Chains A and B, each alone.
Chain A
Amino acid sequence: MLMLYRLFSSLKTSVYVLSFICVIFLIGTIFPQGENIEDYIEAGGKYVSIVRALDFLDIFMSPLFLFAVAVLLVNLAVCLYDRFRIFLKIKRTLIDFERLKSHPAVLRFRKDDIEKRLGKAGFSFKTGMKDAALPGIRIYEKGIQYWWLSWFYHVGIILAISGFFLTALFAFEKDVLLYPGKPETISLYSKETRWNKILEKAGIELQEKRAGDEYVLTLEEFRTEYYQGLKLDYPKAKLERLALGLGVKKLQLSEKQFSYMPKMWLTRFEVKAPDGRLLDAELWVNKPFRTGGLTLYQMGYEQKAELSANGKLIDTEARVPFHVKDVKGKFVLGTVKSGVLFRKDGTTEEIKPVTTVYYIPEEAPSSREALGELSFGGKINAKGVVFKFKDYKEGSYLSYRKDPGVRLVEIACWFVFLGLFVRSLGAWYRVQYAVENEVAYVLISTRGILADKDRIIKKLES
């Protein structure tokens, strides 16, 4: 037992465990995570038996990884317990006077007010020794005790790992596509969490749905905004770029001068909460909407368009190929550009919805031939087909998530970061000091990047 305690409270063990975890991380970057073993074999993947046995395709949930993290947690916990006991009754061991006097870094001052000066510089007395035969040694310190900072951010690491596990067990994520006038119902309950799957495996039957967890979402507006982005004839070839640098070639604006750069995708919608309350919601990328335990995110959008091709109506979707009767090959619409353009001069302009029609030849399904731009209400004639752009609808593509681990991880990360920051950059000083024959012997030790030993020496000297 004692041996185990020693093993787990040792810093060396932490080095081995962390190194082992690094190797697992590395495996996780080499093998495609979340893939199916059959697909892996089909794609010609090697080392199949070991990949299967050690779960390399889902390594961050594999028994091997969970075991390594569990060992790290025990290592941390024992180490923290061990240090806690030591820190609580920390005894500053006093150096013996002869050793202090002959220490290579000891400083000598002919001053009799060193203690007053230390007090003025913010030092406080910690411990001292009076020995009849030898001059007494006194210890003064200044700054936050770094060992406690170290201790606290290691606690933070335990909390962060626990939060990660809460997420892994209980979080779920789904998506929803909202079109105008078509309310969608989503639920804060999912049978698909890891925890629920474990319960199901253990033979516990779960409900499909849970009343009181359902929200109804109705789209009110989806809007795209664009900036004007500078468009250059900037060469791709390295030598041509070098020529620009040497001034041999001149940098030119491209013919189009600017491109449409997405500025914002915004969704406004109404939320009916499980208790019947109606909420006005608005979100965009990087600004999710939160209510109760639910968070909704802007992921993207979908566009449905109604065209007529040689007089026949076609319902299609941007970027999804479609056929026109009696015509070989396929066609596809590019993204419909619509919304507001924010011009460089500060003005705005409503963009007339426009898309590009492409042709996909039968013999080269991966190539695209641009046939021309088709604006809303307009028409083009290409490949023997007259296309008219009749109507279009935009749907907002949202994802929603419930994650009970995220708060804990967040708090833990602040803990770790602030602890580390103050520990590394802050300043901590210890002065050991004794006087003999009117000479003060002073030994200064420091921790932290900002600790400035010379400043303290000046204060004692001046």
Chain B
Amino acid sequence: MTSEEILLREALLLGIEIKLFWFVALLYGICFIVGIAYLISSNNDIGRKLTLGLRITVVVHTILILFRTVEGMRPPFQNLYETLSWFAWFANATYLYAQSRWREVHLPGFIISGIAMAACLYSLFTRSPVIAPLPPALQSPWYEAHVITAFLAYAVFVVSFSVEVCYVRFKTPAEECPGIFGHIDEDFHRWTHRLVLFGFPFLTFAVFSGAAWANDAWGRYWSWDPKETWSLITWTVYAVYLHTKAIGKWKDTPASVINVLGFICMIMTFLGVNWLVKLFGIPSLHAYAV
């Protein structure tokens, strides 16, 4: 095939893929609406539909990711367009795995579908879908390791966050079980800790591999730029969370609050602090790259 024909074929495949990606975003959107209905009605039949919806979506989403893998002849982890999709997929898959252990608890699916939909739409609206070869600065094995582990950790933390929120908001004493929205009890809550414990080594590796990559690319493994510092804040907040889980008196509500704080820090690592800088009237002499 000539270069021109290859370029035409790439454009054609990309057209199909974009439609599939929009369809996945739509499926998450539908799940989110079912989630709202569940929240309003407290009807467990609707809750089951929400979980079923997320199961169908994870299958379609897997097809999308495989399609892009074949299209680009490499795993799709190389830019924000791809990693946001992979993040949504991983959050959903992790949630469904955990959910299979709780049987009648469906509520966190509401939060998961909302976040997954937001990630897909952010990717579709703001990023270019072109499968481009990597620019020199990103050609490092550290880069891929960095991106994969960071988003894997983030996805797991999102699930932990959604479980935490449901627990804090809807926990019921054991004797009243099955309680509203299924049986939200201590055992269910223990999952937040397990999930963070699972995600934390990956987040650690993400920070470490980011520094190792910076060290190879421009020789300075740490420059305290806002993005780096926010990733360190997120890491430290989750370390604090794990510590509070080991302190008898703090392992309930204080730990829950810190877990939610960890999630907020994670979002800040993404979105930056420009608005905070404006809020405090501080001249941002350094631009913050998202």
CB atoms of A284 and B224 under 8 A apart: no
Cα A46 to Cα B213 in complex, Å, equals 36
Write the chain B residue with the least CB distance to A297. Answer: B219
A376 to chain B: which residues have CB within 8 Å? none
B15 to chain A: which residues have CB within 8 Å? 244, 250-251
Partner of A245, one of B4, B22, B135, B219: B22
A234 to chain B: which residues have CB within 8 Å? 128-130
Q: How many residues of A contact B (CB 8 A)?
A: 83
CB atoms of A22 and B233 under 8 A apart: yes
Partner of A417, one of B4, B21, B208: B208
B1 to chain A: which residues have CB within 8 Å? 345
CB atoms of A11 and B247 under 8 A apart: yes
Q: How far is the CB of B12 from chain A (nearest CB, A)?
A: 8
Partner of B286, one of A15, A25, A33, A263: A33
A261 to chain B: which residues have CB within 8 Å? 132-133, 135
CB atoms of A286 and B133 under 8 A apart: no
What sequence of 0s and 1s flags, for each residue 133-162 of chain B, a beta carbon within 8 Å of any chain A beta carbon? Answer: 101110110000000000000000000000
Write the chain A residue with the least CB distance to B26. Answer: A245
CB atoms of B139 and A285 under 8 A apart: yes
Q: How far is the CB of A229 from chain B (nearest CB, A)?
A: 5
CB atoms of B243 and A11 under 8 A apart: yes
Cα A233 to Cα B131 in complex, Å, equals 14
What sequence of 0s and 1s flags, for each residue 259-290 of chain B, a beta carbon within 8 Å of any chain A beta carbon? Answer: 00000000000000100110011111110000
CB atoms of B22 and A33 under 8 A apart: no
A244 to chain B: which residues have CB within 8 Å? 15, 18-19, 22
Q: How far is the CB of B73 from chain A (nearest CB, A)?
A: 12
CB atoms of A286 and B136 under 8 A apart: yes
B139 to chain A: which residues have CB within 8 Å? 264, 285-286
Stretch among B45-53, B57-65, B82-90, B234-242 lining the A interface: B234-242
Cα A403 to Cα B276 in complex, Å, equals 34
CB atoms of A251 and B11 under 8 A apart: yes
A286 to chain B: which residues have CB within 8 Å? 136-137, 139-140, 213, 216-217
Write the chain A residue with the least CB distance to B2. Answer: A345
Write the chain B residue with the least CB distance to A450. Answer: B198
CB atoms of A32 and B232 under 8 A apart: no
CB atoms of A40 and B243 under 8 A apart: no
CB atoms of A416 and B204 under 8 A apart: yes
Write the chain B residue with the least CB distance to A247. Answer: B19
CB atoms of A32 and B285 under 8 A apart: yes
Which residues in window 201-217 of B have CB below 8 A to A?
201, 204-205, 208, 211-213, 215-217
CB atoms of A28 and B135 under 8 A apart: no
CB atoms of B283 and A32 under 8 A apart: yes
> Which of B23, B136, B211: most chain A Cβ within 10 A?
B136
A401 to chain B: which residues have CB within 8 Å? 219-220
Given contacts A18-B240, A257-B4, contact A262 B229 (CB under 8 A): no
Does A288 belong to the interface (CB within 8 Å)?
yes
A262 to chain B: which residues have CB within 8 Å? 135-136
A40 to chain B: which residues have CB within 8 Å? 283, 285
A416 to chain B: which residues have CB within 8 Å? 204, 208
Stretch among A306-314, A330-338, A406-414 lining the B interface: A406-414
Cα A297 to Cα B220 in complex, Å, equals 10
Interface pairs (18), CB distance under 8 Å: A12-B250, A15-B243, A15-B244, A22-B236, A29-B276, A32-B282, A44-B281, A47-B280, A230-B11, A230-B132, A232-B14, A241-B125, A246-B19, A247-B19, A251-B15, A297-B219, A406-B215, A449-B198
Give me the interface of B with A, judged by CB distance under 8 Å.
Answer: 1-4, 6-8, 10-11, 14-15, 18-19, 21-23, 25, 124-125, 128-133, 135-137, 139-140, 194, 197-198, 200-201, 204-205, 208, 211-213, 215-222, 224, 226, 229-230, 232-233, 236-237, 239-240, 243-244, 246-247, 250, 273, 276-277, 280-286
Given contacts A231-B130, A250-B15, A258-B3, could you give 16 more A-B pairs where the C-beta distance is less than 8 Å? Answer: A11-B247, A15-B247, A32-B282, A39-B285, A43-B285, A45-B281, A232-B14, A234-B130, A238-B125, A245-B19, A262-B136, A286-B139, A295-B219, A400-B219, A401-B219, A423-B201
